[in-house]
A and B are shown apart, each in its own frame.
Chain A
């Protein structure tokens, strides 16, 4: 067992963790932050995407111990002072989700997408979310949602 300490959604969390536990399981099972989802076991679907030290990352690709000392934001920590993040607002306005399972990861991936490219073209959005799968929406409303966030910010 190892000791880890990380800042998650602004709170310092110290915990004892089995070294083989992936960050996503640590967030979900130990911290009970279940908004981050698990959609695959080959690091392809993006359902587990969170922000690690300010960049979007798939939390199934690293062990919790590797995130020791990091600053992490999950979907639960994205809204500020009860105000939805522009991407959350965009997904709501544009019907960017159906079952909602891919949505937290999709939103967390789009945060970095818009940070790097504040006014992306449709093509750039589609390329930017290639690492995130959605089986429900056919992606068109997700593209609209990200465009909505880009223009309304």
Chain B
């Protein structure tokens, strides 16, 4: 037979994405692109006050409008929709998708309109008249903790959603706390750095706002729901539970999803309402979020206040760390809200040997939009608090910030490393990442440049940050949904391969990376592989894409399913080739006996044989399809080092990022091009947090940053060209050695930019500056005022 062309190995290569042709030609289908026959549009009347009793909701004028199908008040919705569940084990107040008697944040829904088109729906919303008895609002988290001026949920005194979760040295599994070790550590310290730091509230701001189409078919008794979500299978579970259907009667579809960044993990009230309303009216309905609606209705991220105490010896040896955290979670618990700040305490150990750590977190209700995951979700906060404190320590000791880190690193020989705060780091070589970053940045030369610039009167500073994050979430014990991922691989009759993954992507390029893996695994052309995702009618099971898990967990499930099918296919091939199954090799589109490629059978003909197996080899069933659930034994712990250089305009206080050097270690990489893109995007968000992003409320609980006019997401002009590099320390947790990379950029960039800014202004005696680095704030420091 003809010798087949040699197929290149694809894993590890910069393969162009196969998702792109549809996306660059406007041929992709996002939720708002879907139109069903008979579909009507939903719009929400939202509270314009932060805290009030609802006295009345007058819907008469709205109902009388031409084209309005139905109007439901919160009380009416409550008749057919139960309160919203959460996904964490913490106690939670009742939360209705549409408020019944009290509103607790500005933007909370109070009524729902269903109408012929989106414009009529909006007009009808405007025609609804709600009257309120105002209650005092609380927006300051430390004030809220005193129970003044208001208690938002009566069952939660002093607004304490979660009174106190301790972690670290001396905290036992049953929550008992022994302070002796941490007290001793602080007693033997030569100095203690103490600082209050704000990790401010952010708006995740995926460019595609949320949207949902729900279609209940009364004849079949089934529900199809399209949603801009990161996890259609979890959506299916919750929608089934709240609409009284079985999971086998609900099909959830995440079509093309325009970014998520953690904010599309949560299952939202609008999704429940759309499903319930469709079921009640027996018609398909669509809801599309406006951008200004997204600012109040989509969960926010971060918003953790930290009191940090770092104890050290004069030679720079860190001996103890205390982190007292207060999380402002807004008005309600959402799916993962309460769990996010516990990731901050979990990661308090950072990359260092710290003999004693005490980290506590208190979570507090305020009259704001609820928080939930936002890219990094708890880990950027931990990194920020610890790395800023390390930077302050270096400055106090007049040590090079890199050398201080080096002195305290957990060493490669210490892995797996059990931290003081309950994590077991899988693998790491922190000094290698630091050294690579210092080399790439030309650290000594940069310092000389900075000093020269300063001598000329310019305000230039350098900042450095290490990070370690927890990714590849995670063992099932760590997630209420389970922490596995699922895949099914099918060799079709014609030799093409279809594979499903529960890791539903929204920009991560899984169709490409997963096809690269299968192409190598089976020795077939990349073009012969189709990756299916995002549809529970096609993908049997799944968890979703978050916590940098799609490659480490989803990729591993794919690899496992592929291995099972391959083993079976080897048996069919062995029968055809009259060889032993252990001796057959898959390469270049053929399956042959090791050492004699010319004897091989085309891959497709082995597939055809498996589907018409005459004769059927002993002990085999026909067909080539198998599935796998991968349950990781641990999380993965990627790490890296980010260095930045910042200049402040002396006249205006405006900061400019001159340079950003990043070295990230995510273990083995499947597609370095895609990995770079992920890191760039994370860096942009990490730098955005440091420099220009901040959700601001006024004292009445009104969102001041409620549109792109007031909330600054970074633009192209805000960045220099990022300089990336990677070290590779594979994880032993999965056979791919891949750790995950989706969030990395948000970890180190933020503290490194803030530290660079503090460095630039160190001549003015400033030791710490809270984010965001508003020019006015910096200008005041330059003018001799306070930060």
Q: Do A and B assemble together? A: yes
Residues of chain A whose beta carbon lies under 8 Å from any beta carbon of chain B: 18, 20-21, 28-29, 32-42, 44-45, 47, 74-76, 78-79, 84, 88, 91-93, 95, 97-104, 107, 122, 125-127, 129-130, 132-143
- Could you tell me the distance in whole angstroms from the C-beta of B507 to the nearest C-beta in chain A? 3
Q: Which residues of B contact A45 (CB under 8 A)?
A: 207, 291, 708
- In the complex, what residues of B have CB within 8 A of residue A100's CB? 19-20, 23-24, 28, 256, 258, 507
Instruction: Indicate if the CB atoms of B26 and A99 lie closer than 8 Å.
Output: no
A21 vs B258: C-alpha distance when bound (angstroms): 24
Whether B291 contacts A40 by the Cβ 8 Å rule is: yes
A91 to B, closest residue via Cβ: B24
Asked if B715 contacts A141 (CB within 8 A), the reply is: no
A78 neighbours in B (Cβ, 8 Å): 25
Whole-angstrom CA separation of A32 from B35 in the bound complex: 9
For residue B32, CB closer than 8 A to chain A, the reply is yes
Considering only residues 661-686 of chain B, those with a C-beta below 8 Å from chain A are 673-674, 676-685
In angstroms, Cα B401 to Cα A48, docked, is 46
B80 in the interface (beta carbon within 8 A): no
Known contacts A99-B257, A138-B719; is-contact A39 B24 (Cβ 8 Å): no
Chain B residues lying within 8 Å of A75, measured Cβ to Cβ, are 24-26
| Residues of B with C-beta under 8 A to A143 | 716, 721
When the two chains form their complex, are residues A99 and B291 in contact, meaning their CB atoms are under 8 A apart? no
Chain A residues near B677 (CB-CB < 8 A): 95, 98, 136-138, 141
Q: What residues of B have a CB within 8 angstroms of the CB of A34 in the complex?
A: 26, 29-30, 32-33
Which of A74, A92, A101, A130 is the one whose CB lies under 8 Å from B20? A92
In the complex, 5 of the A-B residue pairs with CB atoms within 8 angstroms, ordered by the A residue number, are A75-B26, A135-B685, A138-B681, A138-B745, A142-B716
Expressed in whole angstroms, the minimum distance between the Cβ of B637 and any Cβ of chain A is 23
How far apart are B208's CB and chain A's nearest CB, in angstroms? 4
Nearest CB in chain A to that of B34: its residue = A34
Q: When A and B form their complex, what is the total count of cross-chain residue pairs whose Cβ atoms lie within 8 Å?
A: 177
Complex contacts, A134 vs chain B, CB 8 Å: 207, 716
Q: A42-B708, A135-B259 known; A36 and B26 CB under 8 Å?
A: yes
Known contacts: A135-B261, A142-B716. The answer to whether A40 contacts B25 by CB under 8 A is no
A70 CB → nearest B CB, Å: 19
- Contacting residues, chain B, for A79 (C-beta < 8 A): 25
With contacts A40-B708, A126-B716, A140-B722 taken as known, whether A98 is within 8 angstroms of B507 at the C-beta atoms is yes
- B707 interface contact, C-beta 8 A: yes
B26–A74 CB distance below 8 A: yes
> Is B445 in the interface zone, CB < 8 Å from A?
no
Number of interface residues of B (CB under 8 A): 59
Contacts of A95 in B (CB 8 A): 16-17, 673-674, 676-677
| B455 close to A (CB within 8 Å) | no
**Chain B positions within 8 Å of A39 at CB level:** 207-209, 291
Question: Nearest Cβ distance between residue A118 and chain B, in whole angstroms?
Answer: 19
State A35–B30 Cα separation when bound (angstroms). Answer: 9
Minimum CB distance partner of B206 in chain A: A135
A79 to B22, CA, bound (A): 12
Provided the pairs A99-B259, A104-B26, A136-B507 are in contact, do residues A41 and B707 lie with their beta carbons within 8 angstroms? yes
Is A125 in contact with B716, judged by CB distance below 8 angstroms? yes
B295 to chain A, nearest CB (A): 10
**Which residues of chain B are near A98, meaning CB under 8 Å?**
259, 507-509, 677-678, 681
A100: shortest Cβ distance to chain B, in Å? Answer: 3
Q: Which residue of B lies closest to A78 (CB)?
A: B25
A35 contacts B26, CB within 8 Å?
yes
The residues of B that contact A28 with a CB separation of less than 8 Å are: 32-33
A132–B301 Cα distance when bound, in Å, is 23
Rounded to whole Å, the gap between the CB of A98 and the closest CB of chain B is: 4
Instruction: Say yes or no: is B709 at the interface (Cβ < 8 Å to chain A).
Output: yes
B708 contacts A133, CB within 8 Å? yes
Q: How far is the CB of A1 from chain B (nearest CB, A)?
A: 13
With A45-B207, A101-B208 given, can you name 9 additional A-B contacts, CB distance below 8 Å?
A: A29-B35, A76-B25, A98-B509, A107-B24, A125-B716, A130-B715, A130-B716, A137-B684, A138-B681
Bound Cα distance from A57 to B672, whole angstroms: 35
Chain B CB within 10 Å, residue with most, of A78, A92, A101, A130: A101
How far does the Cβ of A79 sit from chain B's closest Cβ, in whole Å?
6
From known contacts A38-B32, A39-B207, A42-B709, infer whether A99 and B719 are also in contact, taking CB-CB under 8 Å: no
Contacting pair B20 A91 (CB below 8 A): yes
B90 interfacial contact with A, CB 8 Å: no
Find chain A residues with CB under 8 A from B684 CB: 135, 137-139
Question: Which of chain B's residues have a CB closer than 8 A to the CB of A130?
Answer: 715-717
From B291, B508, B680, A41 is in contact (CB under 8 Å) with B291
Does B548 reach chain A (CB closer than 8 Å)?
no
In the complex, the answer to whether A103 meets B24 with C-beta atoms within 8 Å is yes
Asked if A133 contacts B713 (CB within 8 A), the reply is: yes
Query: Contacts of B507 on A, CB cut-off 8 Å?
Result: 98-100, 136
- Out of A36, A42, A97, A142, which one reaches B291, CB within 8 Å? A42
A141 to B35, CA, bound (A): 33
Task: Pick the 4 closest A-B CB pairs, nearest first.
Answer: A35-B26, A101-B258, A100-B23, A138-B680
Task: Indicate if the CB atoms of B713 and A135 lie closer than 8 Å.
Answer: yes
Residues of B within 8 A of A32 (CB): 35
Bound CA span A76–B35, Å: 18
Distance (whole angstroms) from the CB of B292 to the closest CB of chain A:
6
Contact A99 B506 (CB under 8 A): yes
Cα–Cα, bound, A137→B722 (Å): 12
Are A84 and B681 touching (Cβ within 8 A)? no
Question: Smallest Cβ distance from A121 to chain B, in angstroms?
Answer: 12
**Chain A CB within 8 A of B415 CB:** no
Cα–Cα distance between A99 and B256 once the two chains are bound (Å)? 8
Which of the residues B28, B208, B683 comes within 8 Å of A138, measured between beta carbons?
Answer: B683
Interface set, chain B 248-294, CB cutoff 8 A to A: 256-259, 261, 290-292
A76 proximity list for chain B (CB < 8 A): 25-27
Does B764 sit within 8 A of A, measured CB to CB? no
A97 in contact with B20 (CB, 8 Å): yes
Residue of B25, B259, B673, B715 touching A35 (CB-CB under 8 A) = B25
A75 to B24 Cα, complex, angstroms: 8
Which residue of chain A lies nearest to B20 when distances are taken between CB atoms in the complex? A92
Q: Kindly list chain A residues whose C-beta atoms are within 8 Å of the C-beta of B261.
A: 135
- The residues of A that contact B32 with a CB separation of less than 8 Å are 28, 34, 38
Interchain CA distance A66-B105 in the complex, whole Å: 39
Q: List, in ascending order, chain A residues with CB within 8 A of B119's CB.
A: 18, 20-21
Query: Does B38 belong to the interface (CB within 8 Å)?
Result: no
Whole-angstrom CA separation of A131 from B191 in the bound complex:
49
Most chain A CB within 10 A, of B19, B291, B509, B709, is at: B291
Q: Is B205 an interface residue (CB 8 A)?
A: yes
Partner of B719, one of A20, A47, A139, A141: A139
B29 neighbours in A (Cβ, 8 Å)? 34
| Closest Cβ–Cβ distance, residue A43 to chain B (whole Å) | 9
Q: Name the B residues within 8 Å of A18 (CB-CB).
A: 119
Name the residue of chain A whose CB is nearest to the CB of B674. A95
Query: Which residues of chain B have C-beta atoms less than 8 A from A36's C-beta?
Result: 26
Instruction: List residues of chain A with CB within 8 A of the CB of B258.
Output: 37, 99-101
Could you tell me the distance in whole angstroms from the C-beta of A84 to the nearest C-beta in chain B?
Answer: 7
**A31 CA / B422 CA spacing, docked (Å):** 56
Within the assembled complex, what's the spacing in Å between the Cα atoms of A148 and B674?
18
Q: What residues on A are CB-neighbors of B708 within 8 Å?
A: 40, 42, 44-45, 133
Distance from B109 Cβ to chain A, minimum over Cβ atoms (Å): 18
Verify if B21 is at the interface (C-beta below 8 Å from A).
yes
Q: Point out the residue from A20, A93, A136 that lies within 8 Å of B259, measured CB to CB.
A: A136
Contact A140 B719 (CB under 8 A): yes
B contact residues around A107 at 8 Å (CB)? 24
Is there an interface contact between B290 and A41, defined as CB atoms closer than 8 Å? yes
Closest residue of A by beta carbon distance from B680: A138
List B residues 481-511 near A (Cβ within 8 Å): 506-509
Q: Chain A contacts of B715 at CB under 8 A?
A: 126, 129-130, 133, 139
Q: Assuming A37-B208, A126-B717, is B30 touching A101 (CB within 8 A)?
A: yes
Residue of A nearest to B35 (CB): A32
Complex Cα distance, B374 from A135, in Å, reads 13
